[in-house]
Amino acid sequence: MTLTFIIDALVTVIGITTPILLAASGELVVEKSGVINLGVEGMMLVGTIAGFAVTFETGNPWLGILVATLAGATAATIFAVLVLSLGANQVATGLALTIFGIGLSSLIGSNYVGIAIDPVESPFPDALANDSFWRVIFGHSPFVYFAIVLVLAIGWFINKTRAGLVLRAVGENDLSAHSIGYPVIAIRYAAVAFGGAIAGIAGADFSMVISPLWAEQMTAGRGWIALALVVFAGWRAGRLLAGAYFFGVLMALELYAKASGHAIFPSQFWAAMPYLIAVIVLALISSRDGKDGKAPACLGKPFIPNG
Amino acid sequence: MSVAPRLELIDVSKRFPGVLANDRVSLSVKPGEIHALLGENGAGKSTLVKMIYGIQAPDSGSILWEGQEVRIAHPRAARRLGVGMVFQHFSLFEAMDVLENIALGLDGSVSRKQLDAEIRLVMEKYGLKLDPRRQISTLSVGERQRIEIVRALLLNPRLLIMDEPTSVLTPQEVEDLFKTLRRLASEGCSILYISHKLHEIVELCERATILRGGKVVATCDPRQETARSMGEMMIGSDLRDPARGQVSVEGPVRLSVRDLSLPKPDDFGVALEQISFQVKGGEIFGIAGVAGNGQNELLEALCGEHLADLHTVIEVDGAPVGRSGPSGRRKHGLCSVPEERNGHAAIGAFSLSDNAILTARSRMGFENQGFIRKAGADEFAADVIKTFAVKTLGPDALAGSLSGGNLQKYVMGREIMQSPGVLVVSQPTWGVDAGSAAFIHQALIDLAAQGSAIVVISQDLDELLRLCDRLSVINLGKLSTPRPVGDVSVQELGLLMGGSHGASVHDAGGIHAA
C-alpha cells in the first residue's frame, strides 16, 4: 500500500515535471544567447495541437512529435524575425507570441475537442514498464527520458564545448562577440529556433501523454513556470533539473490535495506554491548578489552593431 | 631593398551616409616596423583599421598583404593572414575567466589544458603577468589589456594593431607595454600603433602617418619631429599650450571635504575611506589614480549622487551640502561632469537643449514653478555650442549624434557657462582629440582664473601636471596627502598609484610630461 503510493506519487511527479523541464531547457539555451522569449506558453500550445492533430489524423505519434517540433520552431522563428531582424521589443513580442499561440491553437483545435488518442507509451518491454515496482524507472513515456538526456546534454554543451562557449559569449557581450567576428544574429536565431522546437515537444507531451486529448489552453500556465524555472536555476542546467522536479513535487501536491481533500492545505495553496517559492528564491538570490545565478549580461537587449 | 611591405593600402576610401570617413588613404607598413597612425577623433583612424581587420569593407582602393592584393571579408580572414588587433574598448566577457576569453579569440578549438600551457609560454616570453584562471570582472584595466595582447600574440601575428592602448594605463604599465612591443617588432612583427598621445609616438614609433578629415596629410619620422610639430600637422593649425596666467592661489576655501567615507556601492565598487581635502578659489586640484580605485565613487559623493553620512562634512563656500542631492548642490554652486559623457553626463536620446535643462535649469532660470522655459534653454545651448566650438547642427541635435569629443566639449561648456563656484570633473579629455583637449584645458584654467575652485579627477598624468596646482593620488579609495605639482615627480606619482597591481615598480620612469 505505502510502496504503491510512493511509486504512484513518483510516477506522477516525473510525468508532470517533464514538459516544464523540456520547455525550460530550451529557454535556457535561448536566454544564454541573450534573448528572452516570453512566448514559451504560446509555443507549447502550438505544439499541443500540432502533435495531437497529426497523431490523430495519421495515427503515427512520431510524426506528431516531429510536426510539433517544427511548429514550435516556426512560431519561435516568427518571434526571432521580429526581435532580431526588426528590432522589436523582446518582452512585448514574447507576450504577443503567447497570445498568438493561444489563439492559433484554439482555432485549429476547435475541430478536435472531445476526441481522445492513445497515449504514447513507454519504449521499454511491458514486463518492465508495467511491473509494479520497476515502472518507477521504466514506465514512462519517451518524453521523460528525452527531457533528462536533453538537459544534461545542454549542460555539457554550454559548459564544455566551444560552440557553447560562443553561445555564452554572444549572451554575455554581443558587441565584443561581434568585433571578434562571431555572427551574433545568426547564433541567436539558431538558439531561439531551438528553444521553440523544444517548447513544441513539451506541448506535445501534454496532448499526447499527460492528457491524451486536446483542450483549449491545456498547458495551464506551465510555460510561465518554465520561464521562472530558468531564473530559479540561475541559468544552470544542473539546477534546472533539480528545480524542475522540486516544482513537480509541489504541482503533484496540488493534484493530491484536489483528489483527496486532505493535504494540510487546500489545493489552491499548493497551486500557488511554485510561484510563491520562485518569487522568494529570486528575492533571496538577488539580495545575496553573489556571483552565481547571474543572468547573461545582454539578456533582453537588442543587438545594435557599432560598425 | 626589395622586401614587399607587410601591409600596403592604396587609395582606400570608405563613405558613410553623410561623411567620407576615408578619402583615398594610402599607407605602408614594413616588416618589423612600429608605425604610428595619428589623427584627431573623427579623422578616420578607426574606420581605417576596421577595414584592415575585416570589420568593414572599403568602397574603393586596394589592400596589399606582403605584396599580394587581398580582400579581407571578416575578422577571421584577417586573423588567418596574420593580423592581430587589440581594441581600445576591450572585447572581453566579464563573467568568464581569462582562458575562456582567450579561447573565444582563437579560431581553432583547443583543450583548456593545452591553451593554458600556450598562454603561459607566450606570457613568459614577453614578460606579461596574468593568471589564466581569474574571472575578468576581478581584473584591472592593465590586466585586461594584457589578455587582449596575449590573445593576439597566440596567433603569431605578423601585424599587430593597437588602438589607443595606453589611455588607461599607469606610467609603469605603459613602460611594460612598450618593452613588449619593441620585443615583438625586433622579431619581425609589424605594429600599427594608433594614438593621439604624441610623446608616446615620439618615443616608440619609427614612422607615422597622419590623418586629418579622412585624408593622409603627412608621413614623417617621429624621431625627427617633436610632439608639437606632429600635433600641428594633426590638427592643421598651431597648437596652443593652455595659458596658465599668474598662479595665485590665495582665494578663500570654496570646497571643503572632511572625513568622507562611503561603503562600496556594489561588488565591483570601491569603498571611500576618510577622504579630506580643501580647494581654494582660483585653484585647480588634481586627483590622479588608476581606473577603478574609487574615482567614480568619489565623483558621485562630491556631486551628490551618493549622500554623505552624518559624520562627513562637505562644504561649498561654508554652506554644508553633504545631505543635499545633485540639484541642491548645484544651487550652492557645485557643478560636476562625470566621466561617462553619453548616458551619465548627457542623455543621448535628448536634444542638446533638453540636456541643458537637465543640469542648468535652476542656475540659469529655465524653470519657473515647474514649467520649463524652452526658449531660454535653446539660447543657452546655442551659446555653449558657439563658445565651445561644438560641431553640431544646433541646440535641437540629439546629444547621441555628436562625436565623443564634441559631446565632451558640450557637457563641459554646459557646466562652465553656469559659472559654478566649484566644478568637479572626471576624465575631462578622455578620448578627446588634442585640439578639443587643449580647448577644454584652457576653459578650465579660465574658470579658475575667475575665482572658481576646480577638482579634476583624471588618469592622464600629463594632463594633471599641466593643469593643476596641487595633486593627490587615489588608491583603493584612499587619498594621498595633496602635494604642490612642482614638488612631485612622475615616478613618485606612479608609485603612489600602486604600480600595476602587484607587478614590480622598480623600473618606473621614461615617461615625461610633454
What is the DSSP code string of A245-274? Answer: HHHHHHHHHHHHHHHHS-SSS-HHHHHHHH
Structure confidence at residue B499 as a pLDDT band (50, 70, 90): very low
How does pLDDT run across A199-242, given as a tens digit for each residue? 999 999 999 999 999 999 999 889 998 998 998 888 999 999 99
CB contact under 8 A, A289 and B267: yes
Structure confidence at residue B245 as a pLDDT band (50, 70, 90): low
For B149, the grid coordinates are: 595582447
CB contact under 8 A, A180 and B91: yes
Contact criterion met (CB below 8 Å) for B19 and B63: no
Answer yes or no: do B136 and B276 share one domain.
no
What pLDDT was estimated at residue B239?
A: 55
User: CA–CA separation, B36 vs B162, rounded Å?
Assistant: 10
Which residues of chain A make contact with B54, given a CB cutoff of 8 A? 181
User: CA–CA separation, B126 vs B8, rounded Å?
Assistant: 27
> Which parts of chain A register pLDDT below 70?
1, 262-263, 282, 285-293, 306-307
For A86, the grid coordinates are: 526588426
CB contact under 8 A, B76 and A176: no
Instruction: Among A275-289, B93-107, B495-509, name the most confident range.
Output: B93-107
What pLDDT was estimated at residue A42?
A: 97
- From the list B295, B320, B36, B2, the residue with the least C-alpha distance to B164 is B36
Lowest mean pLDDT among A50-54, B287-291, B304-308: B287-291
Judge whether B406 lies within some domain: no
Which residues of chain B make contact with A181, given a CB cutoff of 8 A? 54, 74-76, 79
What pLDDT was estimated at residue B286?
A: 94
What pLDDT was estimated at residue B356?
A: 93
Structure confidence at residue B507 as a pLDDT band (50, 70, 90): very low
Select from B191, B207, B235 the last residue of a domain.
B235
Which residues of chain B make contact with A168, given a CB cutoff of 8 A? 93, 96
Answer yes or no: do B443 and B485 share one domain.
yes
- The 10 Å Cβ neighbour count of residue B267 is 10
B205's CB contacts (< 8 A; 6+ apart) are B34, B35, B36, B193, B222
Q: Does domain A2-288 correspond to CATH entry 2.60.40?
A: no
Which of A165, A291, A294 lies closest to B104 in CB terms? A165
What pLDDT was estimated at residue A251?
A: 86
Answer yes or no: do B230 and B271 share one domain.
no
**What average pLDDT does chain B have?**
85
pLDDT over 60 at B437, yes or no? yes
Number of folded domains that form chain B: 2
CA torsion A17→A18→A19→A24, rounded to 10°?
80
pLDDT over 60 at B404, yes or no? yes
Answer yes or no: do B219 and B298 share one domain.
no
- From the list B51, B39, B27, B466, the residue with the least C-alpha distance to B212 is B39
Chain B residues in contact with chain A using a Cβ-Cβ cutoff of 8 Å: 46-47, 50, 54-56, 74-76, 79, 87, 90-96, 100, 103-105, 109, 135, 266-267
Contact criterion met (CB below 8 Å) for B418 and B443: no
What pLDDT was estimated at residue B512?
A: 35
How does pLDDT run across B116-133, given as a tens digit for each residue? 898 888 888 887 778 888
Coil, helix or strand at residue A118: coil
The DSSP H or E segment spanning B269 is: none
What pLDDT was estimated at residue B503?
A: 33
Answer yes or no: do B222 and B156 share one domain.
yes
Judge whether B54 lies within some domain: yes
What pLDDT was estimated at residue A181?
A: 84
Answer yes or no: do B199 and B287 share one domain.
no
What pLDDT was estimated at residue A190?
A: 97
Judge whether B412 lies within some domain: no
CB contact under 8 A, A176 and B90: yes
Q: Which residue has the higher pLDDT, B247 or B399?
A: B399
Answer yes or no: do B297 and B427 share one domain.
yes
Which residues of chain B make contact with A291, given a CB cutoff of 8 A? 135
Contact criterion met (CB below 8 Å) for A71 and A50: yes
CB contact under 8 A, B96 and A169: yes
Answer yes or no: do B194 and B269 share one domain.
no
Judge whether B248 lies within some domain: no
Q: Which residue blocks in B304-433 are alpha helix, DSSP H?
A: 326-331, 352-360, 374-387, 404-416
Select from B174, B200, B235 the last residue of a domain.
B235
User: CA–CA separation, B308 vs B165, rounded Å?
Assistant: 36
User: CA–CA separation, A9 vs A136, rounded Å?
Assistant: 9
Instruction: Among A187-201, B54-68, B334-348, name the most confident range.
Output: A187-201
Which residues of chain B make contact with A171, given a CB cutoff of 8 A? none
Which residues of chain A make contact with B87, given a CB cutoff of 8 A? 179
- The residue segments making up the domain with residue B327 are 253-344+419-496
- Residue with cell string 546534454: A153
Q: How far is B244 from chain A (nearest CA, A)?
A: 39
Q: Which residue has the higher pLDDT, B430 or B425?
A: B425
* DSSP-derived secondary structure letter, A126: H
Tell me if the pTM is above 0.80: no
The CATH number given to whatever domain includes residue B53 is 3.40.50.300
Q: How far is B100 from chain A (nearest CA, A)?
A: 7
Judge whether B477 lies within some domain: yes
Q: Report how many Cβ contacts below 8 Å link chain A to chain B.
A: 54
**Interface check A164 vs B, CB under 8 A:** no
Residue B211: is it exposed, middle or buried by C-beta count within 10 angstroms (0-12/13-18/19+)?
Answer: buried
User: CA–CA separation, B207 vs B216, rounded Å?
Assistant: 13
Q: How far is A47 from chain B (nearest CA, A)?
A: 35
Select from B203, B235, B267 the last residue of a domain.
B235
What is the distance, to the nearest Å, from the Cα of residue A35 to the centroid of all Cα atoms in its chain? 16
For A81, the grid coordinates are: 524575425
Judge whether B409 lies within some domain: no
Domain ranges of chain A: 2-288
B44's CB contacts (< 8 A; 6+ apart) are B14, B21, B22, B23, B25, B211, B213, B214, B215
**Interface check A291 vs B, CB under 8 A:** yes
pLDDT over 80 at B319, yes or no? yes
pLDDT over 80 at B370, yes or no? yes
User: CA–CA separation, B101 vs A228, rounded Å?
Assistant: 29
What pLDDT was estimated at residue A285?
A: 63
Judge whether B47 lies within some domain: yes
The DSSP H or E segment spanning B29 is: strand B19-29
- From the list B280, B310, B303, B400, the residue with the least C-alpha distance to B351 is B400
Q: Which amino acid is at B372?
A: I
Answer yes or no: do B33 and B118 share one domain.
yes
- From the list A31, A163, A162, the residue with the least C-alpha distance to B99 is A162
Which of B74, B93, B266 lies closest to A181 in CB terms? B74
User: CA–CA separation, B486 vs B471, rounded Å?
Assistant: 10
Judge whether B433 lies within some domain: yes
